[in-house]
């Protein structure tokens, strides 16, 4: 399936294509003030959510259709293209009727094939640019499925937004980037226009700039960044929104390389990494063979494969040793669990 670069009227495809604006349109004043500042800093595409899919009821659910004329005003006053999120057929009709230039589909909607099909069907015959966020769960096929539903309905002016994936454990990120998923998506659709949304990945202001830089290194085409004229007072996602001036600074500080020039300088280190990885693989293979021997012994002597005492011993001992080597506890735990799981699989298959 061929998907070409996104075409947004009056916007060039130079990297990074910046889409910025508040998480939510809150009032006419807030929308126009934020847009005016962003416009002053050269931002060409304005975003604002008006139908907000909140995880729990009771949160700010957006202003709804009354906010559409505010976006229209942004378009007329500042010549910016305006973008909003749609989740239902009615949203699509209202947004298209109001002259919204770009639609995006949120992470919760992209995870729902019925909603995606409804949106795709209601867009038939238009060629409005549509950006599909990744589904909340790290499921590449579901993301591709959402894109394909649009393309099959004849909507080919399609791009994607990587906004990270939900996890139960919230540590550094609000939504884990799991970068290899968008990288694999790019492999499948080499020309697709890919945006990164550092605001929802990071969940906090200070992470926006480093995530933007990471996205540039990975050749993302654009950035969708939440920006609010008064972030601390924002009605949704306050902690992750930045002011237009911080946004401007963030974009100016980005190092955007077309070809990764650093490869030369780090090639010796990369070689060493390759060698270490080869050794790791050889050791894992050896461990597998030994585990198989143990498995055969257990089978002969009618011993159970899973022995919890041994399992805990392995985990605790390895974690302790790992920590002595300055390795992260959680990292060692995850690796040892996975190695042990593989051993069990090998022994159960005998």
Angle of the 205-217 helix axis to the 244-253 helix axis, nearest 10: 30
| Contact string 148-177 vs ligand PEP (x = CB under 6 A) | ---------------x--------------
Q: Which of 49, 159, 222, 244 binds ligand PEP (CB under 6 A)?
A: 49
Label residues 106-118 b or e (16+ Cβ within 10 Å = b): bbbbbbbeebbbb
Residues 182/219, Cβ–Cβ less than 8 Å: no
Least separation in angstroms between CB 104 and ligand PEP: 7
Nearest residue (CB) to ligand PEP, 106 versus 182: 106
User: How far is 142 from 188, CA to CA, in rounded Å?
Assistant: 14
CB of 332 to Mn ion, least distance (A): 35
Nearer to Mn ion, 104 or 189 (CB): 104
Q: Within 13 Å and on the Cβ side, how many CA atoms surround 100?
A: 27
Among 44, 75, 91, 133, binds ligand PEP (CB under 6 A): 133
198 is a site residue for ligand PEP (CB under 6 A):
no
Asked if 23 is part of the footprint of Mn ion (rule: CB under 5 A), the reply reads: yes
The residue from 16, 21, 62, 106 that contacts ligand PEP (CB under 6 A) is 106
Closest approach, Cβ 195 to Mn ion, in A, equals: 14
107 binds, among Mn ion, ligand PEP, none (CB under 5 to 8 A by kind): ligand PEP
Beta carbon of residue 324, minimum distance to ligand PEP (angstroms, whole number): 41
Q: State which residue, 237 or 248, has the beta carbon closest to Mn ion.
A: 237
- Give the ranges where the chain is alpha helix by DSSP (H): 28-40, 68-78, 89-97, 107-110, 113-123, 140-152, 180-188, 198-202, 205-217, 244-253, 263-300, 308-324, 329-348
| Cβ count near 199 (within 10 Å) | 29
Give the CA distances from residue 349 to residues 62, 292, 297, in Å, rounded to whole numbers and listed in that order.
54, 10, 14
**Cβ closer to ligand PEP: 221 or 336?**
221
**Span 210-269, contacts to Mn ion by CB under 5 A:** 237
- DSSP result, 54-97: -SSTTS----GGGGHHHHHHHHHHH--EEEEE--SHHHHHHHHH
Question: Does residue 107 belong to the site contacting ligand PEP (CB under 6 A)?
Answer: yes
Q: Which is nearer to ligand PEP, 233 or 277 (CB)?
A: 233
Do 212 and 254 meet the contact criterion of CB atoms below 8 Å apart?
Answer: yes
Which of 244, 239, 324, 342 shows the shortest CA–CA distance to 287?
Answer: 342
CB closer to Mn ion, 23 vs 136? 23
Query: Whose Cβ is closer to ligand PEP: residue 231's or residue 295's?
Result: 231
Q: Min. distance of Cβ 23 from ligand PEP in angstroms?
A: 4
Residue 6 within binding range of ligand PEP, rule CB under 6 A: no
Nearer to Mn ion, 133 or 149 (CB): 133
| Phi, psi of 298, rounded to the nearest 5 degrees | -60, -40
Q: If phi over 0 gives left and psi between -120 and 50 gives alpha, with beta otherwise, what is residue 158?
A: beta
Where on the chain is the footprint of ligand PEP (CB under 6 A)? Answer: 23, 49, 106-107, 133, 163, 200
Binding stretches for Mn ion (CB under 5 A) = 23, 237
């Amino acid at each position: 399936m061929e998907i070409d670069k996104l075409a947004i009227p009056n916007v060039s495809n130079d990297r990074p294509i910046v889409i910025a604006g508040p998480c939510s349109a809150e009032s006419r004043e807030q929308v126009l003030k934020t847009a005016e500042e962003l416009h002053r800093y050269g931002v060409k595409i304005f975003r604002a959510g008006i139908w907000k899919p909140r995880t729990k009821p009771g949160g700010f659910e957006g202003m709804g259709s009354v906010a559409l004329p505010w976006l229209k005003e942004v378009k007329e006053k500042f010549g910016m293209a305006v973008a909003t999120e749609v989740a239902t057929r009615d949203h699509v009709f209202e947004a298209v009727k109001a002259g919204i230039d770009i639609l995006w589909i949120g992470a919760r909607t992209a995870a729902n094939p019925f909603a995606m099909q409804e949106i795709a069907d209601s867009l038939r015959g238009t060629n409005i640019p549509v950006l599909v966020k990744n589904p909340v769960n790290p499921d590449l096929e579901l993301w591709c499925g959402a894109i394909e539903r649009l393309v099959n309905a004849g909507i080919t002016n399609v791009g994607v937004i990587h906004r990270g994936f939900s996890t139960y454990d919230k540590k550094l990120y609000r939504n884990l980037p799991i970068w290899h998923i968008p990288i694999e998506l790019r492999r499948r659709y080499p020309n697709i226009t890919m945006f990164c949304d550092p605001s929802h990945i990071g969940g906090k202001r200070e992470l926006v700039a480093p995530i933007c830089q990471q996205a540039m290194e990975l050749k993302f085409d654009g950035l969708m960044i939440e920006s609010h004229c008064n972030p601390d007072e924002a009605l949704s996602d306050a902690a992750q929104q930045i002011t237009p001036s911080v946004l401007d600074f963030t974009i100016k500080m980005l190092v955007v390389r077309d070809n990764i020039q650093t490869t030369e300088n780090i090639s010796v280190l990369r070689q060493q990494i390759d060698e270490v990885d080869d050794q790791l693989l050889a050791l894992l293979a050896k461990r597998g063979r030994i585990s198989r021997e143990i498995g055969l012994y257990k089978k002969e002597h009618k011993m159970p494969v899973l022995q919890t005492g041994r399992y805990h011993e392995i985990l605790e001992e390895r974690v302790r040793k790992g920590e002595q080597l300055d390795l992260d506890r959680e990292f060692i735990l995850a690796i040892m669990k996975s190695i042990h799981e593989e051993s069990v699989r090998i022994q159960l298959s005998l």
